[in-house]
Amino acid sequence: MKFYRVHTADIAYITQQPRGIFTAIGKLVDAKILSEEETVEYWKNREYFEKVLPVPPFYDEGNPDKATTWFKNTEQGNCIYAEMTFYREMAKKYGTQLYISECDEVPGEVIYEDEFQIAIKNPRPDARITTKEIAE
């Protein structure tokens, strides 16, 4: 099975890995960069995704394993990513370059899995990950 992450080039403090798309747009909200209307839309989107995309339980503990999440390249994983248009639009509008990293194998030690995604810790140094810019 293939897996993919959508992220920025910024390195997240906790994981020491590139910051994922959800966190990247959340940082724009925290910095008050989005307009008032966009911020309202952000919270609507966040509420929706927290209902339909399971939030791995380790986030409640502050992510002590420094895990990152990867979408599964499956119908469910791809459908949920396709629904993330607001996040991609905000990244484009505010100059946040997104990248997609893809791997044909599990890129680390799986500590969580659901129908949409996996979460890994201890990324494998030998995992063959291809990263490219997303041009949207």
> Model-level pTM greater than 0.75?
yes
**135: pLDDT confidence band, cut at 50, 70 and 90?**
confident
pLDDT above 90 as % of the chain:
98
Residue 96, pLDDT > 90, answer yes
Spatial distance between the Cα atoms of 10 and 16, rounded to a whole number of angstroms: 9
Q: Is the dihedral of CA 24, 29, 30, 33 positive or negative?
A: positive
Give the C-alpha separation, 126 to 123, whole Å. Answer: 9
Q: What is the mean pLDDT of the chain?
A: 96
25, pLDDT greater than 90: yes
Q: Is the pLDDT of residue 136 over 80?
A: no
CA 21 to CA 27: how far, in whole Å?
10
- For residue 126, pLDDT beyond 80: yes
pLDDT per residue as tens digits for the range 48-75? 999 999 999 999 999 999 999 999 999 9
Query: What's the CA gap between 131 and 7, in Å, rounded?
Result: 10
Q: How far apart are the first and last CA of the chain?
A: 25
